Amino acid sequence: MTAFAPLKSLLVFLALCAAGAVSAAGPEPFDDGGEPMRYQSNGRVTLGIDLSIGGAVTWLSDEAAGGENMINSFDWGRQIQLSYYSGPVPYVGPDGEPPAPQWAALGWNPIQSGDSGGFRSKVIEFRRIGEDKMAVRTVPMLWPNKNVPAETVFECVYTLMPDGFILDATIENARSDTAQYPARDQEMPAVYTNGPWYKLVSYLGSEPFRNRPVTVLVDRNDGKGWPWLNYYSPERWSALVDENGMGLGVFQPESVRNSAGFHGGDALKGAGGAKEVQTGYIAPLCMTILDHNITRTYRTYFIVGSADEIRARVYELAEKEVPPLPGWTFDGDRRNWFYRGNVSDAGYPVRDGLEISFEAAPGGEIRGPETFWTAEDAPVLEIDAELSVEGAGPGEPVTLPLRIVPFSPRDTVDIDAWPLNPEHEKKRAEKFEQYPVLPEIPAGLSMANGQRRVWTADLRNVEGYAGAMKSLAILTPPRKGKLNLYGVRLRRAE
């Protein structure tokens, strides 16, 4: 959905006027008894999901802020809903169903509510779990195609908190296409608010969780909001608030990158209901490979209140959700690591580390997710791995090239997603020049060919390794080989 969402909204609105059928393919739909809405409330927060459109969230209100619904439902591309992306691009359905031309570039894109042709996603199970949970299982439709259910099931578990709710979102793939497609940015999830909640707030800086000043990225009469803004927030939260400073915050512990903004222009900021076109948007983003048979769950927190209250709650949650230093153990999951170039792995399920294969040329990368740490706190890198390359004897030293991505001046500002006109492009070019991206920092790790152990690199003597850092990449050696990767972590010196 991301940058295409408002155009998607306008086109699907027309489709919905002419259609509205529910696909009959696959499992039997859940019988909602003619009452598709399901609610839970704790006195302050009321959460509502619509079983007629996949169990997506269509209602969220905060009694402390007046009890108005914050969630936009202009069409089936809005709501709070799951949306995933993978190949091929374009995606053609099993019976030759082509994608709509305007959405062909999205590729394989199941979403929770329905497709651009006017066919709803189908709830196959709904249940309440105690007093504070609702769970829904859905066969999603592929947005770019018409009446093509995905070979996928979504499960959403919604859990009320005193000041919001938790979403545990799971995708269960059973695709007949078994190819391993490149990683794509995933919305975790997509969130759309009504017009009163237009002011976008987050923290952009290199000192997270220290109560440094936040940034107002979209405000009244600033001409900003659309195209969606792209930005890096190491505190992993963003909020859309109203004129009184009250609204909705989204905390996604796995994601420091965001696409967000307001569609509708300055004149519509601050007004509008659930069926009106103007909307605020937040989507935490993370690059992820979606295997044909993957089962993957993420957890996102939704917090109501003022920006200060939202941030304070995030700080509490981050104590348990955000580790002090980055570390990844590949015991059943890639942990959002992905590949570039001529690199692939054995696929899902991940049983005992990543079984990675690479060719001599062209080169490739094994790239970690964006995160945050400081070089001073993490002078040592440990990689638990076994590297085997052709042409090297047992135990022969082989250098594994590394790249470290530093925090850059560019990370302190929002970067618009794409230009709409020459003037916009000029402003964006000026911002790029004023806020450059720093080059990646080269490093290396010597390993013995064919031997597994925890290999250690002292980064204190690596030129440029100082201050805030964002991510790490392992480059493949210039020979064909394999890398069994079991874990990566940054740590303090002993």
For residue 1, pLDDT beyond 60: no
Residue 272 CA, chain-centre distance (Å), reads 27
SS (H, E, C) 40-76: EECCCEEEEEEHHHCCEEEEEEEHHHCCCCCECCCCC
For residue 88, whether the previous peptide bond is cis, meaning omega lies within 30 degrees of 0, is yes
Of 345, 299, 338, nearest in space to 169 by CA:
299
Q: Is the pLDDT of residue 296 over 60?
A: yes
Instruction: Summarize the confidence of residues 10-35 as an average pLDDT.
Output: 58
Q: Is the pLDDT of residue 11 over 50?
A: no
Q: Is 258 helix (H, G, I), strand (E, B) or coil?
A: strand
Distance CA 352, CA 300 (A): 27
Of 41-45, 198-202, 359-363, the least confident:
359-363
List Cα–Cα distances, 481 to 180, 283, 389, in angstroms: 19, 37, 4
Asked if 224 and 261 touch (Cβ cutoff 8 Å), the reply is: yes
Higher pLDDT, 26 or 120: 120
Q: In sequence order, what are the residues at sequence separation of 6 or more whose Cβ sits closer than 8 angstroms to the Cβ of residue 457?
A: 380, 381, 382, 383, 402, 443, 444, 445
Asked if residues 154 and 186 have their Cβ atoms less than 8 Å apart, the reply is no
Give Cα 282 distance to the centre of its chain. 10
CA quadruple 146, 149, 152, 154: dihedral, nearest 10: 90
Label residue 33 exposed, middle or buried (CB < 10 Å: 0-12, 13-18, 19+). exposed
Residue 470 banded pLDDT, cuts 50, 70, 90 = very high
The mean pLDDT value of the chain amounts to 93
Give the range among 18-27, 82-91, 247-256, 288-297 with minimum mean pLDDT: 18-27
Name the nearest CA neighbour of 217 among 242, 198, 194, 235.
Answer: 198
Report the pLDDT value the prediction gives residue 410, as an integer from 0 to 100: 96
pLDDT at 261 over 80: yes
pLDDT at res. 418: 72
Mean local confidence (pLDDT), 252-267:
98
Residues 23-35: tens digit of each pLDDT = 344 689 999 999 9
- Cα–Cα separations (whole angstroms), residue 94 to 19, 118, 148, 176: 22, 19, 8, 9
User: 173 with 292: CB under 8 angstroms?
Assistant: yes
Query: Is 36 a residue whose pLDDT tops 60?
Result: yes
Instruction: Write the CA distances from 183 to 17, 169, 180, 493, integer angstroms.
Output: 35, 18, 9, 33
Share of residues in the chain with pLDDT > 70 (%): 95
- Which residues face 215 on adjacent strands? 202
Distance CA 358, CA 446 (A): 18
With 90 as the cut, is the pLDDT of residue 143 above it?
yes
Whole-number pLDDT of residue 306 = 98
Q: Which domains are delineated in the chain?
A: 2-321 (2.70.98), 327-491 (2.60.120)
* 389-393, 416-420, 479-483: least confident range: 416-420
- Which one, of 232, 260, 474, lies nearest residue 372 by Cα? 232
Write down the pLDDT at residue 431: 87
In the structure encoding, which two tokens stand for residue 284, read together?
């935490």
> Please, what is the end-to-end C-alpha distance for the chain in angstroms?
46
Q: Which of 80, 288, 258, 88 is nearest to 165 (CA)?
A: 80
Q: Identify the DSSP state of 336.
A: T
- Model confidence at 148, in pLDDT bands (50, 70, 90)? very high
468's CB contacts (< 8 A; 6+ apart) are 206, 234, 372, 373, 374, 375, 406, 407
378-393 in b/e form (b: 16+ CB < 10 A) is bbbbbbbbbbbbeebe
Instruction: Encode pLDDT of 206-227 as tens digits.
Output: 999 999 999 999 999 999 999 9
The phi-psi region of residue 258 (left if phi > 0; otherwise alpha if psi is between -120 and 50; otherwise beta) is beta
**Long-range pairs for 217-222 at CB < 8 Å and ≥24 separation?**
217/260, 217/261, 217/414, 218/260, 218/261, 218/262, 220/266, 220/269, 220/270, 221/266, 221/269, 222/266
**Whole-number pLDDT of residue 408:** 97
Question: Tokens representing 443?
Answer: 């490093």
Taken in order 202, 204, 210, 211, the sign of the CA dihedral is negative
Q: Classify residue 176 by burial, with Cβ atoms within 10 Å: 0-12, 13-18, 19+.
A: exposed
Tally Cβ neighbours within 10 Å of residue 270. 16
